[in-house]
Structure 1
Amino acid sequence: MSFFSLKSHNGPLTADLVQEPGQFGLGKVPSRLKPVCTATSICGYCATGCQLKLHLDAEGNAINLSPQAGYPVNSGMACPKGWQALDPLDSPDRATVPLLRNHKGKLEPTDWSTALQTFTTKLKSIKSTHGKESVAFLSTGQIPLEEMAFLGCLYKFGMGFVHADANTRQCMATAATAYKQSFGFDSPPGTYADFEQSDVIVLIGANLCIAHPILWQRVMRNKRNPKIIVIDPRATETAQVASQHISLRPKGDLPLLYALAHCILRDGRIDSTSIANTEGIEDFTEFVKSYSPSSVTETTGIPTETIEALALDVSTPGKRVSWWWTMGVNQSHEGTRTAQAIINLCLITGNIGKPGTGPNSITGQCNAMGSRLFSNTTSLVAGHDYADESHRRKISEQLGIPYEKITSQPSMAYDEILEAVIAGKIKALWIIATNPFHSWIDSGKLEKLRENLDFLVVQDMYHNTESGLLADLLLPAAGWGEKSGCFINSERRLGTIKPVRRAPGEALTDFRIFRLIADAWGCGDLFSKWTDPQAVFQLLKNLTKDRPCDIVGIENYEHIDREGGIQWPFPELSGDHGNERRLFEDGKYYTSSGKARLHFSPPTAMPEPVDPEYPFLLITGRGTSSQWHTQSRTGKSKVLKKLYPADPYFEINPADATKYGIEANAAIEIRSRRGKMSARAYLAPTVQSGQLFLPMHYAEVNRLTYPAFDPHSRQPGYKACAVKLLK
């Protein structure tokens, strides 16, 4: 129940919208529902990392919430999702008991003992018959890092399996790979304070007003009168209020960035100190000579004079320039090189390690950074390397796990795991807190993939997600607000979440489920110290010692709360570094040489261009600040549902609508070479002619998308595919 209402508001909903109990026809509030104390918790949606104040009744149950004033991330603001964060906990669709598919093919309730016995018997049998590479898990960026670490270590060191990945592969693999290659470690250098300290802010493939509205408010607080430049094919909400919108052609970003480097190096607007701390400048200078502005105008759709002016804006000596990107860059067939082209521009102009600067990725999932460092999927837990023997021995010694159980074999990536299912090599999948049968690219292919699985386990807080409905075994899990642990946001800030509700029925926290599985599997003794999330946090923080993400200086959860969140690194004797800290202020990087590296390669062709049969290029992205990804949670909120169209719609340029005889609100079939869906037409001059835009939140959208993958990060390119329209 909420004791506030949402007024009309031209931006993020802020603390001034909290209303007094009894307003808006609610009448007198029963004394049992009056808040008597509060707790704080980081919001469980995006990686902005806003802190919420939860108002608790006498029994410790959250009955209301408001944004936390003074927290260095959101300063008393929250977007619509944050205001309604408690609603999904009350949904009648919650999974409350384990469900097991019977001999008639229907899911029916069972008890935990039977569920655990089925889980272990089935997976052990598959492992015995087909080997340790015949099972995989697909996990999430939505659970605390303590649960992520427990899952990864249990699965690989205790159960003895190999292949696992998380849905951070869908949002942040590109940025993580780019940082690793350029800086020697997955290390986003900036801090949100840079939004408020820049002279020039470049947003590329990032619609902050919709996707990260609280960060847009940080931009609006900048008192330096910054020039805000948006590089995006669409005239997004952010582009419409920016100083300048550069409407490039889809996937024209990489040649544009190389052309900017060409102009800057040609004219000598470089920072010699930063370049001295960088490797590869000679080769990079030679490479970009062939990317003059005139040579990329056709590819980018941008006039030469606009490119020259933009190059000057981002390289004027004495100006602080910060670059920010999200999925428009990451979700691309060449996203890693595009992210590194941004990094290269910051390195050659010295816009890194200083206030108001930096190549800064904005993360999608609330704990994607926690997943990148601690999930034990793409790297060894706590930011270590599977291939490094000294790292494996360190993990073995500190966790008390026999060395021979610490695998040196890296996992296949998400797309490779699914292809292995199709090939019959992987026989069982364990899906935790994610919904790939909705969210994965070319999702119709997954329905066929399901037929190849001998066993599918889904562990989720809802029983009726697209993935849950296909499960052989569904394990009911607690959600945000019903568990404790830590998230790490886009600026490397650790924040805590608190249990302020009891999970319904027999649902358990993911941590507790992993504990029960460890015991049922027979490896519980390996994890005898993994008693609760805070105990695991102490183990994990000690593992980070001497790694770039070192946080051994953090005492406990209370220390994190007391400091208003803590950014890594926070080593021993770290002293008082304040609430906002950026990396590389000393010009030293995490590579073996201590220098940053310039990475580059020629742009490649769009994987599926338009043609006469499929004449429209489909772009996907976030359509609203009131819905989250597959709507598994936000779709349960009556308030949030009212703020967003229930039925799918697509945006089309009015000239194209006239050409094809399409009227506003007409029901149109959109068809790709992979699937089809019906949506209503919305005539929008913000979309370029020849392009369509579909919000990602509707389940049907990913039946259309083309399965292209970045070769470095293996991240799927959701943003461009060829489609046609049928009335």
Structure 2
Amino acid sequence: MLFGRNKKNPIKMADKGVVNWTYSTCGYCSTGCSIEIGTNAEGQPVASRGVGNADVNRGKLCLKGIFEYEVFEASGRASNPLIRDTIHKPYSPTNWDTALDKTASEIKRIQATYGRDSFAVVSTGQILTEEFYTLGKLVRGAIGTNNYDGNTTLCMASAVSGYKRSFGSDGPPGCYEDFEHTDCLIAWGSNLPEQHPIIYWRLKEALEKRKFPVIVVDPRVTIFAQFADIHLPITPGTDVVLQNALIHVILKEGLEDRDYINANTNGFEALAKEVENYDPTTAAKLCGIDEDTIRTVARLYAKAGSAMSIWTMGINQSTHGSDGVVGINNLNLVTGNIGKPGGTSLSITGQCNAMGTREWSSCSGLPGYRALEKPEDREEIGKFWGVDPEFFPKKRGLTETDIFPAIETGEIKGLWLVATNPMTSMANTPRIRKTLEKLEFLVVQDAYYDVETSQYAHIFLPAGIWAEKEGVFTNTERRVNLTRQVKQPYADSKSDMQIFNELAKRFENGNIIKFPEKPEDVFEEMKQLSKGRLCDISGMSHDLIEQQRGIQWPYTEAQATQDAKGTQRLYTKPATYCYPDGRAKLIPLPFINNNEVPDEQYPFWLNSGRLVEHWHTRSKTGKIGNNNKFSPIPFMEMSPDAAEDLGIKHQSYVRVTSRRGDAVVMVMLTHRVPKNMVFIPFHFFDCVNRLTLGLLDPHSRQPAFKQSAVAIEHVDQEFAAQLSKESRTY
């Protein structure tokens, strides 16, 4: 579902009285589409359109983007801060001073009573980068808790961990233009047409110019798999086995790039020894891909002039997620496919600014890819902010997925959630519900008061949405792009940065640290801190970013004076990786099968994922008619053969049960899933994440949303329909 501004797929819009178009960047996924919001004579947003001369989307928008203007006036926007003494009482409207005074006093009370780290903060991938930087300054420099993380742990932590382990730093090394140069592409656990439609269109455009093989690794027959030249329906959670087997074949047949390996890597001997255990015959029994196909794919990839791999949640959301990313990097390092046109390991990021939180939020460290573990980094940031470096912790605290168990054990007593909705997005939501009830104090900061998690909050802080403020996002290909303010925040809501700044004044260090009020001034601080770093943005400005329709970092002051474009690729020169010796690491990956697998009691794999119509927990798209009407209720894809065995018919209702809980959904019979698997979209409240296990990756702490076992039974349709409706009513 693409809408464009050229002859091939023109936008056809009714005249809505637009008198002004304002430049912005789409606030949904990580593609980073340049978008313009049209306002009428009264200043109300009435239309959206793609920006024709933008490098990313070239005028195209997907269904979500074309109707994004509707989120400004969507139902559920909060007019005022809300407050209550207990979650069992209704909210009362209040003013900002009362809400922020109460928030600050409760944070101080909890920290004074139980210790500094007894209060936790969980943010998002949805706010502007200047806001992430400001929040990090507030949490690390003023509040002082070490238990601070983002919901990006649920989607991108494995990619971050894998990049760091292989290359010495986070940061995707490739770009979308690599589609136009590659000779072979493997997509690991990625369904581009529904997850990232504009990136899929970029790939299709490249294929129209010249044909190259596309290989999709996915246990489900997705739209992308239907389009692929080769579909590998892998057994869930066994990607590392397949990666090791591909490298086994490449080394066995002498197809590796020895010159690249010798000049740019360490650890080849250990990797070669490990993959000896993964000959195609052995691997086929574990991963479900026949041995001849493994050999064919290995040869295609290794013999291509340039080959690239992309991936999303099918890799990341696994107990082997970080290893899966390292396995992709191993494959590309062994074949010399990093840092050249068409040769890369490109993680397709999830949220619109998940990259911004990785770079600047200080969740996992300090701004600009600095580490809490490094004394020199703590010293530098302490001096820049004007606080004692000893105030900073010496290592990273708990991730989001560890914060909730710490609430259960009483280690954490208070929590601040910023633009995230764990009552729908976390695994095993029945457990999350009980956990939230144990908190002494919960603050929810969101644009919509009806997000499910607000039911458990003591204070609700209403925030402006993406284009009710100004600042930047960073997309999948490291492109920093600008969002201009289209209109003032709704009613008495405030921008997230205003909320952070006002709260900072209520802490001692918050009156020592400078908290600029203008986004441009915050960006100037970030530029200074970025100089000489991998994520250097020192040559950028808001105006230049808009003029160029986004700039890829690193972009230095020298590049700006030369009127140069941003940097398309990282690691283009020999031995320039981020380890001290400049070499990447080849890491052996023994496979340990620790997934929950189907058995006699729970005989089906449960898979989950996105729909093109919706975004995350539907706090926005669930209220937009043209999005919601195509997918108004949850459903479950099921094989007709499995349904026949159980006496289940198309569009009947079933109860799906796991060891954690149950959910009621409507059945859609399809051959897109194998007989022993079902698929349920993750967007809906009280649905699939009532069932998921959420075992954690040991490196990234990211949950395994896609490897759970369930049982299925038919239920009375009228009862099921009523229950389904009641449990999902806002």
Per the normalisation by structure 2, the TM-score is 0.94
Give the aligned partner of residue 493 of structure 2. 507
* Inter-partner Cα distance in structure 2 for 1:537 and 1:225: 42
Answer whether contact 1:48 1:73 (CA < 8 A) is retained: yes
- The structure 1 residue matched to 2:555, chosen from 570, 582, 595, is 570
CA offsets per residue over residues 402-457 of structure 1, 9 Å max, x none? 33333323211112111110000100000001101110111110111122210000
Residue 156 in structure 1 maps to residue 146 in structure 2: no
Give the aligned partner of residue 299 of structure 1. 286
* Inter-partner Cα distance in structure 1 for 2:667 and 2:698: 35
Give the aligned partner of residue 690 of structure 1. 676
Spell out the pairing of 1:249-260 with structure 2 (5 A cutoff): 249-260=235-246
Spell out the pairing of 1:454-603 with structure 2 (5 A cutoff): 454-554=440-540, 556-574=541-559, 575-578=562-565, 581-587=568-574, 588-603=576-591
CA offsets per residue over residues 605-647 of structure 1, 9 Å max, x none? 142111101011101111x211001001111101111122x22
Give the aligned partner of residue 56 of structure 1. 39
* Inter-partner Cα distance in structure 2 for 1:205 and 1:684: 19
Q: Which amino acid aligns with 1:173?
A: A
CA offsets per residue over residues 297-338 of structure 1, 9 Å max, x none? 11111111111101101100x521110000000000011111
Answer whether contact 1:42 1:50 (CA < 8 A) is retained: yes
- The structure 2 residue matched to 1:657, chosen from 626, 643, 650, is 643
Give the aligned partner of residue 727 of structure 2. none
* Inter-partner Cα distance in structure 2 for 1:529 and 1:328: 39
- The structure 2 residue matched to 1:669, chosen from 634, 655, 671, is 655
Answer whether contact 1:484 1:496 (CA < 8 A) is retained: yes
Residue 417 in structure 1 maps to residue 407 in structure 2: no
CA offsets per residue over residues 509-544 of structure 1, 9 Å max, x none? 010011110113344433435222111111011111
Secondary structure, in 3 states, of the residue corresponding to 1:63? strand
Give the aligned partner of residue 18 of structure 1. 11
* Inter-partner Cα distance in structure 1 for 2:358 and 2:367: 9
CA offsets per residue over residues 546-602 of structure 1, 9 Å max, x none? 211111122x10011112211111123124553561111102211111000012321
Answer whether contact 1:460 1:475 (CA < 8 A) is retained: yes
Give the aligned partner of residue 638 of structure 1. 625
Give the aligned partner of residue 613 of structure 1. 601
CA 537–660 in structure 1, closer or farther in 2 if over 3 Å, else same: same
Spell out the pairing of 1:205-216 with structure 2 (5 A cutoff): 205-216=189-200
Give the aligned partner of residue 285 of structure 1. 272
Residue 38 in structure 1 maps to residue 26 in structure 2: no
CA 61–579 in structure 1, closer or farther in 2 if over 3 Å, else same: farther
Answer whether contact 1:197 1:224 (CA < 8 A) is retained: no
* Inter-partner Cα distance in structure 2 for 1:54 and 1:698: 28
CA 205–478 in structure 1, closer or farther in 2 if over 3 Å, else same: same
Residue 193 in structure 1 maps to residue 193 in structure 2: no
Report the RMSD for the aligned CA atoms in angstroms.
1.4
Q: Which amino acid aligns with 2:158?
A: T
Q: Which amino acid aligns with 1:14?
A: G
Answer whether contact 1:650 1:694 (CA < 8 A) is retained: yes
CA 117–579 in structure 1, closer or farther in 2 if over 3 Å, else same: closer
Spell out the pairing of 1:228-239 with structure 2 (5 A cutoff): 228-239=214-225
Answer whether contact 2:188 2:310 (CA < 8 A) is retained: yes
* Inter-partner Cα distance in structure 1 for 2:397 and 2:98: 30
Q: Which amino acid aligns with 2:587?
A: H
Answer whether contact 1:157 1:407 (CA < 8 A) is retained: no
* Inter-partner Cα distance in structure 1 for 2:400 and 2:680: 24
Report the alpha carbon displacement of residue 107 of structure 1 after superposing the two structures with TM: 1.1
Larger CA deviation: 103-112 vs 285-294: 103-112
Residue 398 in structure 1 maps to residue 380 in structure 2: no
Residue 315 in structure 1 maps to residue 302 in structure 2: yes
* Inter-partner Cα distance in structure 2 for 1:81 and 1:522: 43
Report the alpha carbon displacement of residue 340 of structure 1 after superposing the two structures with TM: 0.7
* Inter-partner Cα distance in structure 1 for 2:120 and 2:70: 32
Residue 368 in structure 1 maps to residue 354 in structure 2: yes
- The structure 2 residue matched to 1:122, chosen from 86, 106, 116, is 106
Larger CA deviation: 157-166 vs 127-136: 157-166
Q: Which amino acid aligns with 1:425?
A: E
CA 417–102 in structure 1, closer or farther in 2 if over 3 Å, else same: closer
CA 221–490 in structure 1, closer or farther in 2 if over 3 Å, else same: same
* Inter-partner Cα distance in structure 2 for 1:476 and 1:637: 20
* Inter-partner Cα distance in structure 2 for 1:428 and 1:351: 46
CA 326–85 in structure 1, closer or farther in 2 if over 3 Å, else same: same
Secondary structure, in 3 states, of the residue corresponding to 1:96? coil
Answer whether contact 2:133 2:362 (CA < 8 A) is retained: yes
Show structure 1 runs of 5+ residues with no match: 1-10, 23-28
Instruction: Provide the identity percentage.
Output: 37
Report the alpha carbon displacement of residue 105 of structure 1 after superposing the two structures with TM: 1.7
Report the alpha carbon displacement of residue 508 of structure 1 after superposing the two structures with TM: 0.4
Show structure 2 runs of 5+ residues with no match: 715-730
* Inter-partner Cα distance in structure 1 for 2:197 and 2:518: 34
- The structure 1 residue matched to 2:75, chosen from 88, 92, 100, is 92
Larger CA deviation: 394-403 vs 223-232: 394-403
* Inter-partner Cα distance in structure 2 for 1:634 and 1:527: 38
Residue 175 in structure 1 maps to residue 163 in structure 2: no
* Inter-partner Cα distance in structure 2 for 1:561 and 1:339: 33
Report the alpha carbon displacement of residue 61 of structure 1 after superposing the two structures with TM: 4.4
Report the alpha carbon displacement of residue 59 of structure 1 after superposing the two structures with TM: 5.8
* Inter-partner Cα distance in structure 2 for 1:484 and 1:401: 28
Secondary structure, in 3 states, of the residue corresponding to 1:481? helix
Report the alpha carbon displacement of residue 102 of structure 1 after superposing the two structures with TM: 4.1
CA 251–381 in structure 1, closer or farther in 2 if over 3 Å, else same: same
Secondary structure, in 3 states, of the residue corresponding to 1:664? coil
Secondary structure, in 3 states, of the residue corresponding to 2:68? coil
Report the alpha carbon displacement of residue 545 of structure 1 after superposing the two structures with TM: 1.5
CA 577–314 in structure 1, closer or farther in 2 if over 3 Å, else same: farther
Q: Which amino acid aligns with 1:251?
A: G
Aligned residues: 703
* Inter-partner Cα distance in structure 1 for 2:30 and 2:160: 15
* Inter-partner Cα distance in structure 2 for 1:389 and 1:37: 50
Q: Which amino acid aligns with 1:13?
A: F
Give the aligned partner of residue 5 of structure 1. none
CA offsets per residue over residues 649-691 of structure 1, 9 Å max, x none? 1011111111111110110000101010111111111101111
Give the aligned partner of residue 350 of structure 1. 336
Secondary structure, in 3 states, of the residue corresponding to 1:315? helix
- The structure 1 residue matched to 2:58, chosen from 72, 75, 81, is 75
Larger CA deviation: 338-347 vs 109-118: 109-118
Secondary structure, in 3 states, of the residue corresponding to 1:133? helix
* Inter-partner Cα distance in structure 2 for 1:80 and 1:327: 21
* Inter-partner Cα distance in structure 1 for 2:132 and 2:362: 8
CA offsets per residue over residues 16-43 of structure 1, 9 Å max, x none? 5433545xxxxxx6xxxx3233221110
Give the aligned partner of residue 709 of structure 2. 722
